[in-house]
Amino acid sequence: MEQYDVIVIGAGHAGVEAALAAARLGGKVLLTTVTLDNVAFMPCNPSVGGPAKGHLVREIDALGGQMGLSADEACIQMRMHNTGKGYAVHALRAQADKPFYHNLMKKIVENQENLDLKQLMIDEVIVEKNEVKGVKAETGEVFAAPCVILATGTYLRGKIVYGEVNYDSGPNGTRAPQKLSASLLHIGVKLMRFKTGTPARIDARTLDYSKMEPQYGDAQVYNFSFLNKVKTREQVPCYLTYTNPTTHKIIRDNLQRSGMFNGYVEGVGPRYCPSIEAKIVRFADKDRHQLFLEPEGLDTNEVYVQGMSSSLPADIQIEFMHTIPGLEKCQMMRAGYAIDYDCLDPLQLKASLEHKQISGLFSAGQSNGTSGYEEAAAQGLMAGINAMRKLQGKQAIVIGRSQGYIGVLIDDLVTKGTHEPYRMMTSRAEYRLLLRQDNADLRLTPLGQEIGLVNSERWSSFTAKRDLLERTLFSLGQTYVAPTEENQKKLAELGTSAIRSKISLLELLKRQQISYAKAAQAFGLPELPAVVAEQVEIQAKYDGYILKQRQEVAKALKLENKLLPESIDYRSIKELSTEAAEKLATVRPVSLGQASRISGVSPADISVLMIYLEAKRRKEEQ
């Protein structure tokens, strides 16, 4: 029997980040997958990032994860979204070359020291006395390890459905684990049944792009990774087109044949990424819905039809696509489908992503009820880190809600749970002005260094940027502009009002009309790298708002720092409401702060817990 420190089941985006993190932290790691052809495979859209998701990718990178670096290399188009709004919601989104991304990640995994990659179907997680001992494969092979990370994605007892067609399968027709669910239930893991879907892939040669609107990438070169290795990038366009009333009639006339409506789909689907059938029903007043035609790579003719997920029969999918401008003669290469799968109820997990009752069992990604590559990768990274810290006898790393979107994501899952595939959105973060994508390195790279995932190259680059930023902010705060005739003229040329008394350049930068580049040219300031100049401007212009949010964080941390004993019997506290006692007993929050975020726990219940803690403290003192 081969012995490992960590075994990761599943080599999707969660599994890859988990395995790489654990191996890079010195663990002997086994990464298993039902097929080596699916390592870091993108079974749905060929993209990385977007609102909130781009924030997650930046945070993964800041901590020393892999997704951002690989997405930069595989990118065939990059755009910054929400530039018409504030910096808090700016977000990068990249179109990825899907086959290239898979091959790149597979190469990185195969060549990672301490990491074994094996094609295995895992049938059983071996647990003795509520402690993980290893896994058993369908081949009969047993692999021992004190930590196992579930990263099964949408494969666990997966079933593909479109029309009357339904069969046991993972994404893209790959095998799905059928016995592992029973093993998890046997050891006491609670499972849920969720559903997701994907649209058809069509042949680029059969499309008429002249009838669509081209969507180009940004001229400025962006990168997810703070190491900024890619300096130039050739970009390919995507295309925008729309459905119409004829499209909708065909779909409406065949709703009874959709897997979503004919009873073949069991699971709960994602609210924020509905199928085209659900859109037609839910938004019956709309006469069109937008579709984005996204190339799946530079060396393939497959095109992904974003916005058209469907579980209608294949012939109906072709029929309604032929009513769409530019798709009148399209040839379908792969039919769209819905997929049902098992996943864990995340309320069973600690904030470290370890199961509360089964020592050494971690779970990450869509197996925790989330949707999206980015959410999966973020959880995988944290599960890999915390599995190794458990083995090393170190305290788990838990990122707070005020530290990162990763913290918001995991806290939402383990505190509130989810009744549908969870998707990260900027609106879920109460401190999003502090959690911008541009400052992810300033927030999290020191933590990555402490954990041991930040290499010397990244640390050197980070400290150089941070030190330059701090020196520049200090210098601007100490450099004053007097209301001389020459300076008033310069201000007028910059399009801003005159000054009545001397003012620091830092105060001057708070004005919307003045950028660092303009101020540098007018007042002879040193040229700065673009990323540092951007940080200087943001910190100057949003100083008051940032200070206010930091005060809110400090206030909230008072509750976060009031820890609740693990042994507390909530049902014995008569002053708590019945619902609160049940929810608290289920979630078992570690602090009053976490308790306050549980649905069904009121401010009055929190007051009861505060009184309980104070009474307990006085009793212990006596």
CATH, residue 355: 3.50.50.60
Residue 150's identity, in one-letter code, is L
Q: What is the pLDDT of residue 449?
A: 98
**What distance in Å separates the CA atoms of residue 44 and residue 200, rounded to the nearest whole number?**
10
Kindly state the DSSP code that residue 89 receives in the 8-state scheme: G
Residue 264 scores a pLDDT above 90:
no
- Kindly state the tokens that stand for 251: 């779909």
Spatial neighbors of 514 by CB under 8 A, at least 6 apart, are 494, 496, 508
pLDDT in tens, 168-188: 999 988 999 999 999 999 999
Mean pLDDT on 300-305: 98
Residue 272 scores a pLDDT above 90:
no
Select from 451, 473, 506 the last residue of a domain: 451
Asked whether residue 349 falls in the same domain as residue 442, the answer is yes
Residue 172 lies inside a defined structural domain of this protein: no
* pLDDT-based confidence at residue 482 (cuts at 50, 70, 90): very high
Higher pLDDT, 362 or 621: 362
Mean pLDDT on 580-598: 94
Average pLDDT, the chain: 95
Cβ atoms of 157 and 341 closer than 8 Å: yes
- Of 37, 32, 36, nearest to 15 by C-alpha is 32
Asked whether residue 444 falls in the same domain as residue 487, the answer is no
CATH number at 540 reads 1.10.10.1800
Asked whether residue 32 falls in the same domain as residue 106, the answer is yes
Residue 591 lies inside a defined structural domain of this protein: yes
User: Which domain covers residue 417, as residue numbers?
Assistant: 2-40+98-154+177-197+340-451
Three-state secondary structure readout of 538-605:
HHHHCHHHHHHHHHHHHHHHHHHCCECCCCCCHHHCCCCCHHHHHHHHHHCCCEHHHHHCCCCCCHHH
Asked whether residue 529 falls in the same domain as residue 483, the answer is yes
Q: What is the pLDDT of residue 438?
A: 95
Q: Provide the 10 A C-beta neighbour count for residue 131.
A: 12
Residue 351 lies inside a defined structural domain of this protein: yes
Q: Provide the 10 A C-beta neighbour count for residue 544.
A: 9
- Kindly state the tokens that stand for 262: 């004919």
* pLDDT-based confidence at residue 4 (cuts at 50, 70, 90): very high
Residue 59 scores a pLDDT above 90:
yes
Asked whether residue 444 falls in the same domain as residue 485, the answer is no
**How would you classify the pairing of strands 337-344 and 191-198?**
antiparallel
- Kindly state the tokens that stand for 238: 């995507």
In the chain, count of helices (H) and strands (E)? 20, 24
**What distance in Å separates the CA atoms of residue 459 and residue 88, rounded to the nearest whole number?**
25
Q: Count Cβ neighbours within 10 Å for each residue of 194-208 and write b for 16 or more, e otherwise.
A: bbbbbbbbbebeebe
Question: Between 314-321 and 245-253, two packed helices, what is the crossing angle to 10 degrees?
Answer: 160
Asked whether residue 491 falls in the same domain as residue 542, the answer is yes
Select from 527, 548, 569 the last residue of a domain: 548
Helices (H), ranges, 412-523: 440-451, 456-478, 485-493, 505-508, 516-523
What CA dihedral angle connects 101, 116, 455 and 78, to 10 degrees? 10
Residue 540 lies inside a defined structural domain of this protein: yes
Residue 277 scores a pLDDT above 90:
yes
Asked whether residue 123 falls in the same domain as residue 7, the answer is yes
Q: Provide the 10 A C-beta neighbour count for residue 466.
A: 16
Residue 298 scores a pLDDT above 90:
yes
Asked whether residue 531 falls in the same domain as residue 479, the answer is yes
Cβ atoms of 605 and 580 closer than 8 Å: yes
Asked whether residue 23 falls in the same domain as residue 150, the answer is yes
Asked whether residue 518 falls in the same domain as residue 583, the answer is no
Q: What are phi and psi of 478, to 5 degrees?
A: -100, -5
Asked whether residue 403 falls in the same domain as residue 421, the answer is yes
Asked whether residue 9 falls in the same domain as residue 136, the answer is yes
pLDDT in tens, 144-159: 999 999 999 999 999 9
Q: Helix (H, G, I), strand (E, B), or coil: what is residue 388?
A: helix
* pLDDT-based confidence at residue 229 (cuts at 50, 70, 90): confident
Select from 424, 451, 478 the last residue of a domain: 451
CATH number at 567 reads 1.10.150.570
Q: Going edge to edge, which strands form the sheet with 142-144?
A: 2-3, 142-144, 131-137, 122-128
Q: What is the pLDDT of residue 260?
A: 83
Residue 490 lies inside a defined structural domain of this protein: yes
Residue 266 scores a pLDDT above 90:
no
Residue 24 lies inside a defined structural domain of this protein: yes
Cβ atoms of 37 and 26 closer than 8 Å: no
Residue 332 lies inside a defined structural domain of this protein: no
pLDDT in tens, 435-470: 999 999 999 999 999 999 999 999 999 999 999 999
Q: Helix (H, G, I), strand (E, B), or coil: what is residue 340?
A: strand
Q: What is the pLDDT of residue 262?
A: 82
Q: What is the pLDDT of residue 622?
A: 80
Residue 365 lies inside a defined structural domain of this protein: yes
Number of domains in the chain: 3
**What distance in Å separates the CA atoms of residue 40 and residue 453, rounded to the nearest whole number?**
20
Q: What is the pLDDT of residue 488?
A: 93
First to last CA, the chain: 54
Q: Helix (H, G, I), strand (E, B), or coil: what is residue 461?
A: helix
